[in-house]
Structure 1
């Protein structure tokens, strides 16, 4: 008798199921359970994420329609200017401070919430100048765009800090720029 009554019982999640399906369809399948939960919260419904996931699984809804793989930052644009002679030849060790300095641009992603509570992916670019003698970072710049200004400002600071080197200083980058 228990199971017969249970099968005849109405679905307690019927309204929530139609609302979740509506939100999912409004956003063309881009919303997963997290964004659906935030949207429901904005509408005044506080629903546990496990319940939303269970309903989405039951309805066959997956927010994977437009998943993109994140691209790795690559600033190489081909040969832009004159190539500088490779003076390091993969000899990345030195016994003289401030003789060999290297740099490279690194991209970092971080997440930030906007005023409506949506999560946005932001990027920062780090341009450090590293002394190969002891691995010390002599100067660096952090910028929101990968631009030459940040690199040149960090390079100028590195040049000022390494004035005491009696030998020729070599600034190395894998992009082919340098000081002659």
Structure 2
């Protein structure tokens, strides 16, 4: 977890998942994501292709398949950072 988005937040879990998938894969592997910048990044796409994993993305403005995860992460961020933000006044 991180307070800001980085490519490592996406790539490192992908590498971990690939090591598990390769041991147990019997069928074609597909990873589904939204259209976030890190899922369109050249490193992400190349890693998937290198391991024969198909990439699937949500269509633009189609939140139905993404809303349960967005809700979860919204709650997670709220719980993690509640009361920790320091607001600076410009006055």
The TM-score by the shorter chain falls in which range? 0.3 to 0.5
Which is higher, the Rg of structure 1 or of structure 2?
1
When the two structures are superposed, what TM-score results if normalisation uses the length of structure 1? 0.20
TM-score normalised per structure 2: 0.37
Higher strand share: 1
Name the structure with the higher helix share. 2
